Structure 1
Amino acid sequence: MTETEPWAGVRETHSGAVFFAGDRAWKLKKPVDLGFLDFTDRGVRERVCRREAELNRRLAPDVYLGVAAVTGPDGAVCDHLVAMRRMPDDRRLSELVRRGEPLGPVIRSLARLLAVFHGGAHRGLAVDADGTRDAVRARWHASFDQVRPFHGVVLDTTAAKEIESRTDLFLAGREPLFARRIAERRVVDGHGDLIADDIFCLDDGPRVLDCLEFDDRLRHVDGLDDVAFLAMDLERLGAPALAAELLDAYAEFSGDNAPPALRHHYLAYRAFVRVKVACLRHAQGDPAAAELASAYAETTLRHLRAGEVRAVLVGGLPGSGKSTVAARVADALGATLLQSDRIRKEIAGIDPERHVPADYRQGIYTPPWTALTYSELARRSAALLGLGETVVLDASWTSATEREAIAAVARQTGSKLCALRCTAPDDLRERRLATRTGSLSDAGPDVAREMAEDAAPWPSAFPLDTTGTPADTAGIALAHLAPGS
């Protein structure tokens, strides 16, 4: 403790209370049943206290001193307390963030600590079982069930229903992603409850306290899920840049190349966990918790929208600027770019940079070759979308049949289909075709004119005028693709 702190004090949570006295802290479990935990039995409280001390020594061995018995006047044991070394309040990470202190080195130190912790954490079949897509979905649904009585009372019903539908859509198509995370040994016996209030930044390094101890299964999580809780909490404290820095540093130290969509999904999940906690606090008589629950619900929805996996079709006639637009959009979205021109030549065993011009529907541009090209485009898209990767598909997309095949892939993988149809006046397209360099396409003006005659209407696509600068055109495309637009 510091000289400015009171010698004694108490801090209460929904499931416990911490009593401070001098240089010690004593944590009591409340005799409550909250559905997801039941501490009404003293024997359970003792067992959970001992488990808490054991588990938290993994990250803070010098803080957790053991478990003390509480006896009554008759000497009989009536309860148990976790005995801890008291941490200085003014070194809480949450307090440092609120004071606006420079925290770059602290965040990197935390990210390194957590990456090392996860690297050595317990793994196994039982842990893996709790990291499957179905297990993650079950945790979401358990929270949905607990929060549903608060719809229209604490939470906006429309927003709550959108959270449920977006969550289920993401998870429906992402079984390959979660299977890969398990295969990469990313699912561990982690912390489970990383928040800035429970992290203390001392001169000799951070101390991370108060892991989730009452249910092992809730602690069996993807390492990214674990860290996302703290990142979400930093966002709540008004420090989104620190949250992004934490996630980036963790990816660096852990070697984790998870897709952005999974980051957003876990940030949303952790925000919704806090929605649930706030609702429970409201039910316990805390009226201020309603506002907090709504704020966390907004955070949940924002990340679910940002983490939407998309198949973005960028089409148009030769010379319409579609390849330029597709490349810029893919870069901006952090998406994988798939190009029909490149795939077509790969299938034919031709260097993609080599030009093999042919008449319309001749050479490697016959209908069978084209069907094979689009089939491969769909196959690769399905694999990437299932792994949570947004894809940008650069092709002419003049065939309604080919567009429907990709639409089916999007539906099967729970992905959103977006379409941009690049347009430009005929004379501009022909000038581009006559002067372009570095393009993978072999189409010339004659082929472009014949393609225009055969193109099927595409009313569902957003018409994108490409007569402006590439940067301006890409800006318009990205504005159309922005979440919620």
Structure 2
Amino acid sequence: MSASQLLSELRPNRTDQPWSAVRETHIGAVFLVGDLAYKLKKPVDFGFLDFTRRETREQVCHKEVALNRRLAPETYLGVADVKGPDGEICDHLVVMRRMPDERRLSALVRDGAPLTDTIRDLARIMARFHEHGSRGPAITAQGSRDAILGRWRDSFAQVRPFHGHVLDAAVAAEIERLVEEFLAGREALFARRMRTGRIVDGHGDLLADDIFCLDQGPQILDCLEFDDNLRSVDGLDDVAFLAMDLERLGSPELGELLLEHYAEFSADPAPPALRHHYLAYRAFVRAKVACLRHSQGDHTAARLAREYAELTLRHLRAGQVRLILVGGLPASGKSTLASAIADRLGATLLRSDRVRKELAGIPAERRAAAEYEKGLYTAEFTAHTYAELNHRAEELLSLGETVVLDASWRSADRRLEAASVGARTHSSVIPLRCWAPEATTAARMATRQDSISDATPEIARRMATNVHPWPDAHTIFTAGTEQDSLTQALGYLG
């Protein structure tokens, strides 16, 4: 497009769609004229980007067009030069087809429009986009634990000047602590994501404001173009940006649906903790942007920054990796409770009874009853069983999986070993002790069927005489219903 054509388009003399608005972000402005939109880069330097040189803005404009044509080839028309009165080029504009405001995904969400099919379409589009996206050593390296930690720390440094007057200092401090804790113990998780090809040249800035739901399907615009490293992301991280934005707009159920469909279409087995971590990361990115907008004079941005920070904190708390010890004597209800907790949290359940028989090479359902501390229940074989439980738990925790360990946990030494696993993987250890009256446990042992436990009433009585104090455990009264026990446990789990 020539300069004269551009000037003709910018004159507010069109009758079909008059000059409507100039819309600004912290790094640019968009001029809407007729059926076209013109995007200008501001000459700003925020550290993570520097647009102060015209030549840089020109390069970024051309790059923006090329990258966005991957998802919206008919929307991005090209780059126009802007000339001053002396005829010299002074700036550049990305030229785009204008999209109808009323079809923005954000507007449709706010209006309560039915969007289930649209969300499924978006998940499918992004899964296909990531499947065919560019990969390579330089891109994959950006998915490492250390690279992600570096991004977080960069953002922390950029928002620190806003502590106390824009962001609540206590909230910001807890965010930093939870991020450091999660990433410290999860190197194996991110290494596996890299190894399995999950890191891709993605979109990098997937927001509901930049998605338009048209008859021909969703149009996804405005990818992150100014930094290749920031666009090199885990596909889940990419989609989590939009899921977070949908939650902020008041539709967390649409965000959850997007992630579920994306997991289906991309065959992604990511643990819930990683989803929460990426949701938190994307919320904090927007908190940082709101802080920058505030520094540019937009005082309404302070409230938005605080909202994003609270959203960040909620997901970091929800994404904490936990090692949950569920203990108690035979028939105390510990296995029932452990199973219910694992189902509710999407956690992995490891049962000592099952692992013990697996190590012995016999089916879990086969009876292996013996006298107290005989057969499979000698001190040596019990130590072997608990060591294997801890080994498996450590591997799972390092991969971001919350683990529920179902065992008696009578020995203080065994509990210390489990606590060491939690410490090594930077995971919260939460001990739960199940208790019910002896009459209740005796009745359960007399009537239970299809149990893999070999405990008898006599063994239970012997075990009860050899239980080390467990003062830090939360006691769960299990004589009531399964739901009663679960409610108590969830109260301690938060």
TM-score when scaled to structure 1?
Answer: 0.98
| Paired residue secondary structure (2:465) | helix
Structure 2 equivalent of residue 423 of structure 1: 435
The residue identity in structure 2 corresponding to 1:121 is G
Structure 2 equivalent of residue 251 of structure 1: 263
Q: CA deviation at 1:95?
A: 0.5
| Paired residue secondary structure (1:50) | helix
How far does the alpha carbon of each residue in 1:135-162 deviate from its partner, in whole angstroms, 9 at most, with x for none? 0000000000000111101011111000
Q: CA deviation at 1:5?
A: 6.1
Q: Which moved more, 1:471-480 or 1:195-204?
A: 471-480
| Alignment pair present for 1:116 and 2:128 | yes
1:259 and 1:203 mapped to 2: Cα distance?
A: 35
| Alignment pair present for 1:404 and 2:416 | yes
Taking the TM superposition and a 5 Å limit, the aligned residue runs for 1:101-250 are 101-250=113-262
The residue identity in structure 1 corresponding to 2:198 is R
How far does the alpha carbon of each residue in 1:184-210 deviate from its partner, in whole angstroms, 9 at most, with x for none? 111100000000000000000111111
1:352 and 1:69 mapped to 2: Cα distance?
A: 73
Structure 1 equivalent of residue 10 of structure 2: none
1:48 and 1:107 mapped to 2: Cα distance?
A: 30
How far does the alpha carbon of each residue in 1:241-279 deviate from its partner, in whole angstroms, 9 at most, with x for none? 111111111111111111000000000000000110010
How far does the alpha carbon of each residue in 1:338-368 deviate from its partner, in whole angstroms, 9 at most, with x for none? 0000000000001110011111110010001
Structure 2 equivalent of residue 455 of structure 1: 467
| Alignment pair present for 1:324 and 2:336 | yes
| Alignment pair present for 1:85 and 2:103 | no
Structure 1 equivalent of residue 29 of structure 2: 17
- Relative distance call for 1:4 and 1:305 in structure 2 (3 A) is farther
- Relative distance call for 1:107 and 1:4 in structure 2 (3 A) is farther
Taking the TM superposition and a 5 Å limit, the aligned residue runs for 1:434-453 are 434-453=446-465
| Paired residue secondary structure (2:245) | helix
- CA contact 2:16–2:34 (8 Å) conserved in 1: no
Alignment counterpart, residue 414 of structure 1, candidates 406, 422, 426: 426
2:128 and 2:426 mapped to 1: Cα distance?
A: 34
Q: CA deviation at 1:470?
A: 1.2
1:425 and 1:5 mapped to 2: Cα distance?
A: 77
Q: CA deviation at 1:10?
A: 1.0
1:329 and 1:205 mapped to 2: Cα distance?
A: 41
Structure 2 equivalent of residue 469 of structure 1: 481
1:471 and 1:8 mapped to 2: Cα distance?
A: 57
| Alignment pair present for 1:374 and 2:377 | no
| Paired residue secondary structure (1:169) | helix
1:452 and 1:149 mapped to 2: Cα distance?
A: 58
Structure 1 equivalent of residue 407 of structure 2: 395
Structure 2 equivalent of residue 59 of structure 1: 71
- Relative distance call for 1:344 and 1:218 in structure 2 (3 A) is same
| Paired residue secondary structure (1:455) | coil
| Paired residue secondary structure (2:371) | coil
1:4 and 1:89 mapped to 2: Cα distance?
A: 15
Structure 1 equivalent of residue 285 of structure 2: 273
| Alignment pair present for 1:433 and 2:445 | yes
2:18 and 2:179 mapped to 1: Cα distance?
A: 45
| Paired residue secondary structure (1:352) | coil
Q: CA deviation at 1:6?
A: 4.3
2:20 and 2:112 mapped to 1: Cα distance?
A: 27
Alignment counterpart, residue 87 of structure 2, candidates 75, 99, 112: 75
Q: CA deviation at 1:9?
A: 2.0
Structure 1 equivalent of residue 349 of structure 2: 337
The residue identity in structure 2 corresponding to 1:456 is H
1:150 and 1:366 mapped to 2: Cα distance?
A: 60
* 5+ long unaligned stretches in structure 2: 1-14
| Paired residue secondary structure (2:58) | helix
Structure 1 equivalent of residue 8 of structure 2: none
The residue identity in structure 2 corresponding to 1:322 is K
- Relative distance call for 1:5 and 1:99 in structure 2 (3 A) is farther
The residue identity in structure 1 corresponding to 2:187 is E
2:20 and 2:251 mapped to 1: Cα distance?
A: 31
The percent of aligned pairs where both chains have the same amino acid is 64
- Relative distance call for 1:320 and 1:91 in structure 2 (3 A) is same
The residue identity in structure 2 corresponding to 1:452 is A
1:27 and 1:314 mapped to 2: Cα distance?
A: 58
1:85 and 1:435 mapped to 2: Cα distance?
A: 72
1:47 and 1:71 mapped to 2: Cα distance?
A: 17
| Two-structure CA RMSD over aligned residues (Å) | 1.2
Q: CA deviation at 1:8?
A: 3.5
2:426 and 2:391 mapped to 1: Cα distance?
A: 15
* 5+ long unaligned stretches in structure 1: none
| Paired residue secondary structure (1:454) | coil
